[in-house]
Chain A
């Protein structure tokens, strides 16, 4: 069938600059570039170009420009070019539209409507280069109070038992990116960076390769998802914390599917399934159809880990997250991970990614408020995920009520990802979201982990600057401190949900 689709990108090659080195041809797994020996010339097949910019970055003479195809259908507010081409694709394939990474639709981004405070006159701002500025964060349940007794010798004795907490040096964790979805090299880079910087990475649902457990287990949040891949006692116990994955911001209500061709021997061993078979994650966890079932699994995991690890429960931010979160805390969850509308994924049906869930800003706010109303906010930590693009977003998330944030997309970008949204093809030219050894070796964990620690360092320094500006020298004094936020361009109901005043109020 002749395809009626227009190419999404146009490739301009400056022939004067092109030295026909064929770097572009080698770099592109989508086989966009081709050298014609007879004509001694490079040609590009624009239909296959995904706009990932790998060729443009690696072209030694900057001969390539890849830009969105400007040619357009007749302007139509309702039938945009994207709607027409999506429909065309479906008419040609009869299939569900697949996509990768996060929601790119123009829903309001509340970060852009929140402004931070700074001290002037009555309260000195603090210079983080000269004074202590503390980002250390503890994740997990805190008791309602401590029973302390002053002994005769002046010592204070505490009789309250402390639930397990895990410490991170900066309130930024790497979000769940499973081995299988991403390459071993990318996975290891995240583990190395988390360990180097003193934070945590999340294994996702694909298990933790045995050779990484000893060195990086203590920095891992190990996931137990609906497919139960790779879950055994050693996996649970080598970790810093365990996470039950109920939902994901990019595809709330949907399971996952890792096609058999990606299930290599090592992935098969890690996930504990036969090599070459599809790894199917059901939409729900089939032993959790209710809150009491969740509680049973939480306590099963606590039993399995001797009550030494906090147990997190991750849900997609949906309409009634606040009530769900409250139930989760009462069911025994020590950490509530909320994944918002703009959270990323390796593969999701486009309709789901683009239309299901709510923005993380509103979810953080309503969950935090609800837990406070019930007097149980201290019994859990809130981890916010899905759409944190810079350190200011992190600061705003914490001021709204999060304890710390998960970054997934931001971490991928640090490793080279350019958000071409073709993760589901398995042909990631940047070596991240692929199991092709030829592509995967493009990620050198020593270098990629350095890019990641650089990112953590840069954001942490910026967070310190912003904290100091607000006259705060410990991150805990920002948590839920919405007085330091003001809204601009928001409606009354939005200010109400966010619990912030308007700018100037």
Chain B
């Protein structure tokens, strides 16, 4: 038996997110410009975008973006699996611009599907069923990788600078109410299309800058819950952890932030009694999901965009608000490029989440107020 070999890519990156808190959809022009402005944080080996509110015409169907490498085999096998497990209401090759500067683009296909559960699968919720099928494709079908699997949203990613990836997938033709973007600098292995960010499971996406030194612990814990990391990059664990904690276990974001980036024990001991008990309990039960090592992430799902850094803030994250638009970015300059004037701009403390939601607007500690330029 061949040993299981887990690969993990590590990367330094740029991340950017924009959300309209009233749910109005907007084009990606500004987001593409902003992420392109952080060109130097990437190295052309990966770029990607997640767009929410993308497919209103197929609102009730899971939109699967699937990448195929090599010959026809993987797609045939995947099509067979999809036809067995879903009602495929529409599928097409992802429109792409042939002239974009991206190397060896694989075949990317999108499917709009409804679960067709049989036998004991009927006991599963639709979401759990889709997760299971996504894992099946990723794990069992060689050369097929599911980029995204949520409803009314989609992930577009590949090798190249994010602005080139945007051009390749013709993202200027799409609109959404949340956009997140990622520019990649993988440092120890070749970038590949499946390894680009954002990572997605159902409608949860994660764009991550950093290296997770707790990857092995996180991955092995998630395996107990049926998640298998197949995309060869450490950031994947955050997407699955978010799905486990927020969707399956229904934990509020503030609690999840304290699981990923818990306060140190000394700080917990200084808290008032009820908070102390809560934080201590979280650390005990969810110790394997502490995300250790440097990270800044933008996590998104329908109606919510969240920014979070590791507890000792080894990666940058800045937030800006202008009217109904809220921005999260590795660099403030990228926000200012899109919105010269901001109502406020700030840098959160390590481990303090910024939660931007449709109804409530921006939450999160307002600290380190940044003095705006002009």
Residues of B289-327 contacting chain A, CB below 8 A:
290, 292-294, 311-312, 314
Give every chain B residue within 8 A of A366 (Cβ-Cβ): none
Chain B interface size range: 35 or more
**Stretch of A20-28, A139-147, A323-331, A427-435 that contacts chain B:** A139-147
B284 in contact with A138 (CB, 8 Å): yes
Give every chain B residue within 8 A of A119 (Cβ-Cβ): 213
Residues of A143-164 contacting chain B, CB below 8 A:
143, 145-148, 150, 155-156, 158, 160, 162
A472 in contact with B264 (CB, 8 Å): no
A471 in contact with B211 (CB, 8 Å): yes
Give every chain A residue within 8 A of B5 (Cβ-Cβ): 501, 505
**Stretch of B61-69, B108-116, B157-165, B220-228 that contacts chain A:** B220-228
A479 in contact with B215 (CB, 8 Å): no
Give every chain A residue within 8 A of B119 (Cβ-Cβ): none
Given the interface pairs A131-B312, A155-B274, the reply to whether A165 lies near B292 with Cβ below 8 Å is no
B288 in contact with A165 (CB, 8 Å): no
Per-position contact with A for B247-282: 1 when CB-CB < 8 Å, else 0? Answer: 001111011000000001110000000100010011
For the complex, give the distance between the alpha carbons of A483 and B6 in Å: 8
For the complex, give the distance between the alpha carbons of A481 and B264 in Å: 20
For the complex, give the distance between the alpha carbons of A483 and B214 in Å: 9
**Stretch of A7-15, A346-354, A371-379 that contacts chain B:** A371-379
Give every chain A residue within 8 A of B213 (Cβ-Cβ): 119, 123, 470-472, 477, 484
Cβ of A480 under 8 Å from chain B: yes
Given the interface pairs A124-B314, A134-B265, A471-B293, the reply to whether A162 lies near B284 with Cβ below 8 Å is yes
Residue of B nearest to A470 (CB): B213
Cβ of B11 under 8 Å from chain A: yes
Q: Whole-angstrom distance from the CB of B219 to the nearest CB of chain A? A: 8
Cβ of B217 under 8 Å from chain A: yes
For the complex, give the distance between the alpha carbons of A126 and B312 in Å: 10
Cβ of A414 under 8 Å from chain B: no
For the complex, give the distance between the alpha carbons of A121 and B249 in Å: 36
For the complex, give the distance between the alpha carbons of A124 and B250 in Å: 33
Q: Which residue numbers of B lie inside 8 Å of A, CB to CB?
A: 1, 3-6, 8, 10-12, 187-188, 210-211, 213-217, 220-221, 223-225, 249-252, 254-255, 264-266, 274, 278, 281-288, 290, 292-294, 311-312, 314
What are 13 residue pairs bridging A and B, where the CB atoms are less than 8 Å apart in the complex?
A123-B213, A124-B314, A134-B265, A142-B284, A148-B250, A375-B224, A377-B224, A378-B224, A477-B213, A477-B214, A478-B217, A479-B287, A483-B215
Q: Which residue numbers of A lie inside 8 Å of B, CB to CB?
A: 119, 121-124, 126, 131-132, 134, 136, 138, 142-143, 145-148, 150, 155-156, 158, 160, 162, 165, 372, 375, 377-378, 399, 470-474, 476-484, 492, 495-496, 499, 501, 505
Known contacts A122-B10, A146-B251; 11 further A-B pairs (Cβ under 8 A): A119-B213, A148-B251, A155-B274, A165-B284, A375-B225, A377-B224, A473-B311, A474-B287, A477-B217, A477-B292, A480-B221
